[in-house]
């Protein structure tokens, strides 16, 4: 029987950097899920975290004081017409796969992104990765294409599959995107049974 997650979801803070990096760096050194080659230094990852948090949500799943997974959004493309699109990233501790943590993180993140005014959530998935594709399809993503032989890591050429979930009303003209700090994200997270409006000191 799959264990039901019993932790909480909250907004990340720079003080989480070490635990977040402990999750991410093994994906660099041991997998093709990320196309980075070298483990990231603490200061580089913290700067990335702080940059995301200036505009986007970065959520962590925490249980008994330990962060077991995280999810965040970032720009999909820089040009102005792409302003209503964002790119999804979800990473879980290697021993926490299949416990429903990713599902809860994605659900909470989508709630905040919709409140900000985003229309499309994109996900770029290294191919092949059938479990990730299945996860995204289960949660409303559809496939939009495959970039073949677009990355090279561990002595092999790799493809990238593009998936998207549409969360906006395309019958209406979009309004300007709200900064994450312009929406009541603490109250929105508090309304989720497994989420928390508490964050560590920044």
pLDDT of residue 135 exceeding 70, the answer is yes
Mean pLDDT across 22-51: 98
In terms of C-beta density within 10 A (0-12 exposed, 13-18 middle, 19 or more buried), how is residue 2 classed?
exposed
Note the pLDDT of residue 198. Answer: 54
Q: Which residues of 78-87 are buried (b: 16+ CB within 10 A; e: fewer)?
A: eeeeebbbbb
Q: What's the mean pLDDT in 28-56?
A: 99
Backbone phi, then psi, for 155, in 5-degree steps? Answer: 75, 20
Q: How far apart are CA 50 and CA 159, in angstroms?
A: 30
pLDDT at site 4: 58
What mean pLDDT comes out for the span 138-156?
Answer: 98
Strands 156-166 and 120-127, sheet pairing: antiparallel
**Whether pLDDT at 191 is above 90:** no
Domain tally for the chain? 1
For residue 76, the domain's CATH number is 3.40.630.30
3 in a structural domain: no
Domain membership of residue 35 (yes or no) is: yes
pLDDT at 200 exceeding the cut of 60: no
Residue 90 phi/psi, 5-degree rounding, is -135, 130
User: Containing domain of residue 183, as a range?
Assistant: 8-121+168-191
| Residue scoring higher pLDDT (96 or 127) | 127
Q: Is the model's pTM score more than 0.75?
A: yes
Residue 3: pLDDT over 90: no
Query: Residue 154 falls within a domain, yes or no?
Result: no
Domain contains 73: yes
Q: Tell whether 143 is covered by a domain.
A: no
Q: In the predicted model, is pLDDT for residue 202 greater than 50?
A: no
Read off the pLDDT of each residue in 115-127 and give the average, rounded to a whole number.
98
pLDDT over 70 for what percent of the chain? 93
Q: Which residue has the higher pLDDT, 187 or 1?
A: 187
Per-residue confidence (pLDDT) for residue 125, from 0 to 100? 99
Residue 115 in any domain: the answer is: yes
pLDDT of residue 37: 99
Residue 140 within a domain: no
């Amino acid at each position: 029987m799959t264990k039901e997650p019993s932790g909480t979801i909250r907004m990340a803070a720079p003080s989480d950097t070490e635990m977040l990096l402990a999750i991410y760096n093994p994906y660099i050194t041991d997998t093709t899920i990320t196309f980075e080659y070298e483990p990231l230094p603490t200061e580089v990852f913290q700067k990335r975290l702080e940059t995301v948090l200036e505009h986007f949500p970065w959520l962590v799943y925490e249980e008994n004081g330990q962060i077991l997974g995280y999810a965040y959004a970032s720009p999909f493309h820089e040009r102005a017409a792409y302003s209503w699109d964002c790119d999804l990233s979800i990473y879980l501790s290697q021993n926490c796969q299949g416990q429903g943590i990713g599902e809860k993180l994605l659900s909470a993140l989508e709630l905040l992104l919709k409140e900000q005014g985003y229309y499309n959530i994109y996900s770029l998935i290294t191919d092949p990765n059938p479990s990730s594709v299945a996860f995204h399809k289960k949660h409303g993503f559809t496939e939009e294409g495959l970039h073949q032989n677009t990355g090279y890591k561990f002595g092999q050429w790799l493809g990238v599959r593009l998936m998207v979930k549409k969360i906006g009303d395309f019958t209406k003209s979009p309004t300007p995107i709200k900064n994450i700090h312009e929406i009541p994200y603490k109250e929105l997270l508090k309304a989720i049974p497994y989420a928390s409006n508490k964050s560590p000191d920044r």
